[in-house]
């Protein structure tokens, strides 16, 4: 079996950017890697069927920059043969690993037998992993939840995935029924870690590298988890992947906003504007005068428009340019679940 994840786990901890639809595109992954190069970045999810049948989707989803390595592409579907075909294409593009979405609780996804529903269609889930692991040499991992209603079957499920050839499991500390409510609970994930040999990563409400580190250490001294995933807390705050609770200066934030805007312009062509607006407004959480700048940012039409807003901020806050902005990491600023909400 490919030892990529085990090798990484031996250099504990594994810190990862969670897969997020509408966010984890190549420009965002490049920004995260530039700031925190040790991070393993996951992509948005793509349908295996789309990867197999659409050259356009292949180009959009699988074209990447070498700075993104190790890069994991996430796919969803329900048919093992389609997964295996998609896996071969992903491998051909030089991607580091493939992750299977057994996580998404959106009604339309579950109704069609994809995402979270694979937690209850276990034989299909195992077959998918088996076929993919046979089809490619790169590692195949799975992202899932605690379970359908509780975590009583999590260990058995993951043991089945491990036997089928999965080489990493990431678990979001909420059940399907909880969807996006309540707090992420890691109890079941610590339990799972005692019973499997593949690395185990936790996910849900992790605010920063330091917070992740605290969460993966077992409270009673049993085996620690191998790593953590950070999702929403990274929006507009890619510094959250750095050890030591790093706080960027205003100057650093503005430079990264410019770079992020430029990358989106280069990679995304016509879809650029919506993407740039969505990402850039996130960088100014809790900043004085934020409303005015945000309303300018949501109207940008070109990189020049972005540069104008950034220059305005610099002029208005000359005295703050080299000051650290400590308003990050406030949980109240976490965005809502957006695209993956149960509908
Ligand atoms: C906008 C958005 C899109 C998401 N898309 C995906 C996805 O494509 N695949 C996936 O496995 N999880 C997806 N997730 C879930 C995240 O990977 C993660 O499990 C969840 O946000 C909890 O982590 P957090 O509390 O650190 O945000 C998405 C979450 C958000 C907020």
pLDDT at residue 28, rounded to an integer: 97
pLDDT for 343: 43
Identify the band that residue 340 occupies on the pLDDT scale cut at 50, 70 and 90. Answer: very low
Angle at 277 between CA 303 and CA 180, to 5 degrees: 155
The catalytically annotated residue of 104, 202, 240, 267 is 104
CA 159 to chain centre: 24
Whether 104 is catalytic: yes
What separation in Å is there between the alpha carbon of 231 and the centre of ligand 1?
Answer: 6
Digit-coded pLDDT (tens) for 173-232: 999 999 889 999 999 999 999 999 999 999 999 999 999 999 999 999 999 999 999 999
Q: Work out which ligand 1 atom sits closest to the CA atom of 206.
A: 26
Could you tell me if the CB of 230 is within 6 A of ligand 1?
A: yes
pLDDT single digits (tens) 2-52: 899 999 999 999 999 999 999 999 999 999 999 999 999 999 999 999 999
Confidence check: pLDDT of 289 > 90 = no
Q: Is the CB of 30 under 6 A from ligand 1?
A: no
Q: From the CB of 28, is ligand 1 less than 6 Å away?
A: no
CB under 8 A, 24+ apart: contacts of 215-221:
215/186, 216/13, 218/190, 218/193, 219/190
Percent of the chain clearing pLDDT 90 (strictly above): 82
Whether residue 338 has pLDDT greater than 80: no
User: How far apart are the CA of 204 and the centre of ligand 1, in A?
Assistant: 9
């Amino acid at each position: 079996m490919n030892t990529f994840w085990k090798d990484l786990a031996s250099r504990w901890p594994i810190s990862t950017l969670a897969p997020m639809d509408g966010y984890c595109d190549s420009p965002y992954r490049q920004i995260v890697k530039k700031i925190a190069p040790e991070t393993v970045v996951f992509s948005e999810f793509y349908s295996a069927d789309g990867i197999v049948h659409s050259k356009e989707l292949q180009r959009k989803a699988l074209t990447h920059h070498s700075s993104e390595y190790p890069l994991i592409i996430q796919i969803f579907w329900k048919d093992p043969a389609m997964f295996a075909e998609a896996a071969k294409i992903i491998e051909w593009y030089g991607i580091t690993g493939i992750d299977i979405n057994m996580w998404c609780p959106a009604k339309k996804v579950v109704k069609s037998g994809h995402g979270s529903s694979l937690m209850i269609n276990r034989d299909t889930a195992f077959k998918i992993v088996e076929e993919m692991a046979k089809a490619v040499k790169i590692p195949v991992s799975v992202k899932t939840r605690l379970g359908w209603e509780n975590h009583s079957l999590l260990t058995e499920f993951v043991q089945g995935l491990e036997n089928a050839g999965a080489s990493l499991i990431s678990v979001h500390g909420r059940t399907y029924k909880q969807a996006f409510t309540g707090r992420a609970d890691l109890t079941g994930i610590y339990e799972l870690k005692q019973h499997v040999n593949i690395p185990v990563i936790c996910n849900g409400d992790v605010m920063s590298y330091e917070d992740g580190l605290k969460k993966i250490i077992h409270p009673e001294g049993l085996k620690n988890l191998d790593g953590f995933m950070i999702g929403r807390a990274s929006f507009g705050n890619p510094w959250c992947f750095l050890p030591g609770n790093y706080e960027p200066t205003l100057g650093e934030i503005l430079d990264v906003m410019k770079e992020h805007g430029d990358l989106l312009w280069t990679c995304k062509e016509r879809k650029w504007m919506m993407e740039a607006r969505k990402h850039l407004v996130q960088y100014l959480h809790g900043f004085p005068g934020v409303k005015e700048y945000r309303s300018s940012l949501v109207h940008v039409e070109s990189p020049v428009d972005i540069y104008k807003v950034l220059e305005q901020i610099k002029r208005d806050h000359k005295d703050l340019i080299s000051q650290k902005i400590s308003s990050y990491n406030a949980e109240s600023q976490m965005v809502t679940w957006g695209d993956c909400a149960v509908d």
